[in-house]
Structure 1
């Protein structure tokens, strides 16, 4: 977190799994989907969970980079969506895009432009990017930094009041 006034929202593996399954529950009534496209890296885990829960066998990735640790920068596509998935989309197949979080919506906008008819789903959404997402589970404030389970280690945390035990 670069801003000391920023809120933090740590997410455990258990919570992330529950939230990803909740996303699958919401998506079940919208499907079936012919393919899922995970936005790497953050979207890989929820996309795998959603693909399992919804029995989606065609799983693709698009690699986009917009964060260097904690600061947002321009969007750079590191891996394009495969031509076969783009062709499925053009033929009217139902494509699902999954990411862990929509923050400003910049990455979502770039990926949506690649697959304009796809359904976009994220586990978490912030207000600035929420309009880019069709389905999400939890909204957090724009000034909240989400610490995903792959970013965390078990460690002592001081009490909120600043006192000691």
Structure 2
């Protein structure tokens, strides 16, 4: 198991995440116009639930499915992937199968492990994430913000309100 905590921190507020997820929807709207739209969204749990809800609202997609993959354990370590729930067959077979017409949404692609597992389930789906790290970036079709591989993203659902020391106080000197 590799330690997933990184050297740099990127805290994301609810407001910022909402703006970034809407920016993702904006990009996906153009893709939808070019390809005939998306018939369903598959949210990768748990991180993909919030952006999938925002994208579904913005693009007026009503059919939402989940695929449940566990990769982070105890919020610190990324270990072996475990598929807890696959994609419903009816969703996977839209437009002839293999995920054609399906939009996969997640909060982040990190090393690409989860993305590879879900891509294997739905190879023709369009894969979108809000944030992308370099190792996983080639596996997604659309994303909003790239962050360095050594950055840990603190999502708003993982944080409480508390004081954050200035970067200069925590920077190595």
Task: Give the TM-score of the pair, scaled to structure 2.
Answer: 0.88
Structure 2 contact 43–64 (Cα < 8 Å) conserved: yes
CA deviation vs aligned residue, 1:42-87 (integer Å, no higher than 9, x gap): 0000000000000001000000000011211111001110111112
Quickly say closer, same or farther: Cα 1:90–1:12, change in 2 above 3 A.
same
What residue in structure 2 maps to residue 15 of structure 1?
16
SS at match of 2:20: helix
Q: How does 1:142-153 map to 2 (within 5 A)?
A: 142-153=149-160
> How far is 1:152 from its partner?
0.7
Paired residues in the alignment total: 162
Structure 1 contact 47–99 (Cα < 8 Å) conserved: yes
- Distance in 2 (CA, whole Å) between partners of 1:34 and 1:117 is 13
Quickly say closer, same or farther: Cα 1:5–1:90, change in 2 above 3 A.
closer
Q: Once superposed, which parts of structure 1, at least 4 consecutive aligned residues long, lie more than 2 Å away?
A: 2-5, 89-93, 157-163
Q: Does residue 58 in structure 1 map to residue 54 in structure 2? A: no
Structure 2 contact 127–140 (Cα < 8 Å) conserved: yes
Structure 2 contact 5–77 (Cα < 8 Å) conserved: no
- Distance in 1 (CA, whole Å) between partners of 2:6 and 2:137 is 22
- Distance in 2 (CA, whole Å) between partners of 1:43 and 1:90 is 25
> How far is 1:29 from its partner?
1.1
SS at match of 2:10: strand
SS at match of 1:49: helix
> How far is 1:142 from its partner?
0.2
- Distance in 2 (CA, whole Å) between partners of 1:156 and 1:36 is 36
> How far is 1:107 from its partner?
0.3
Task: Give the TM-score of the pair, scaled to structure 1.
Answer: 0.93
Structure 2 residue runs without a partner (length 5+): none
Match of 2:48 among 43, 48, 54: 43
What residue in structure 2 maps to residue 154 of structure 1?
161
